[in-house]
Structure 1
């Protein structure tokens, strides 16, 4: 096997339509717009935001993670509008096993338009450029849109992890997907 993966450092990524960047308090209203949409939050592990204070608390938490050099979500900014339309990033980054997991959420008006596929592809490339061997993603079994994103990004469905996480007051199954950096295994 090749060298150990590099440590995670949050940095800006750019795609054709988006800038993937650190979230800041200037994103408060844009983030609240999609975090308060019950359709968007149906399959995430956190509750629908009901006020700006909940969104601000989340942003402050993320800003502290950045300051401490920890893995944290990044914002997805639509280049055309300058609006924050979602988040994506690494949920964990395991250097010992050269493995990471991506997570994401996007405003419902952007569903089915390829934005999240574009963002996740950029994250996968970022991870593989830093010598990761495996990148994983999980979703609720009923979240067809998220499954499609993973498949379009070259991830393989690996199965159901039963009662894998506790969210919104109950244990939930999740579908596991992963993509392997075959180039590093040669």
Structure 2
């Protein structure tokens, strides 16, 4: 890894998942969850209104891959080969050894431990390959499912940032969680 960014986003594998670059052929899978009101309820981006929104997101991701910057991994369900969500480092500060992860998952796969499995693998990669010292994640205070993912991935609750984000027409309290390299199991 270099201070310029991840040279090439690697494929990461777990028992049930393959984390890989997104491809144009993933557009329908991404649109399926990106256009779901329940899925987009607690994320900072707006629900995909049309396949055009999803194609624009794919172009953004492909641009990040080309620039060798932090970018989303598609979460591929090995059993079907379909993309069921994404996970990524939304920012990375090599000088400080810190980064933040963000993620989204299709509602069809909620409650199955999939995002926890993906998060643990990305955290492992961050500590072992990127030489991070701290990895954090945040969620809107009402997003109980995301809080559970962070806790099950080994993160500790640090506190609430009061009215720290304006999205979806209102100011939200934000929960922040983190894990340090020496806390990883």
How high is the TM-score relative to the length of structure 2?
0.93
Which residue number corresponds to residue 134 of structure 2?
A: 134
SS at match of 1:116: helix
Q: By how many angstroms is 1:5 displaced? A: 8.2
SS at match of 2:55: helix
Summarize the Cα distance change of 1:19–1:32 in structure 2 as closer, same or farther, 3 Å threshold. same
2: CA distance, partners of 1:97 / 1:166: 27
2: CA distance, partners of 1:6 / 1:17: 31
Which residue number corresponds to residue 34 of structure 2?
A: 35
Structural mapping, 1:109-120, within 5 Å: 109-120=108-119
CA contact (8 A) 1:8 1:93 kept: no
Find out whether 1:8 has 2:6 as its counterpart. yes
Structural mapping, 1:1-186, within 5 Å: 7-9=5-7, 10-129=9-128, 130-182=130-182
- Structure number with greater CO (CA < 8 Å, separation at least 6) is 1
1: CA distance, partners of 2:6 / 2:71: 10
CA contact (8 A) 2:5 2:70 kept: no
2: CA distance, partners of 1:114 / 1:7: 29
How high is the TM-score relative to the length of structure 1?
0.92
Moved segments of 4+, more than 4 Å: 4-7
Q: By how many angstroms is 1:23 displaced? A: 0.7
SS at match of 1:178: strand
CA contact (8 A) 1:5 1:132 kept: no
Deviation string 1:18-64 (CA, Å, 9 cap, x unpaired) is 10001111100010000011011100001111110010001001100
Q: Which runs of 5+ in 1 are unaligned?
A: none
CA contact (8 A) 2:139 2:175 kept: yes
Summarize the Cα distance change of 1:54–1:89 in structure 2 as closer, same or farther, 3 Å threshold. same
2: CA distance, partners of 1:6 / 1:63: 17
- May I ask how many residue pairs the two structures share in their alignment? 181
1: CA distance, partners of 2:103 / 2:34: 12
Q: By how many angstroms is 1:6 displaced? A: 9.3
2: CA distance, partners of 1:22 / 1:133: 25
CA contact (8 A) 2:138 2:175 kept: yes
RMSD: 1.8
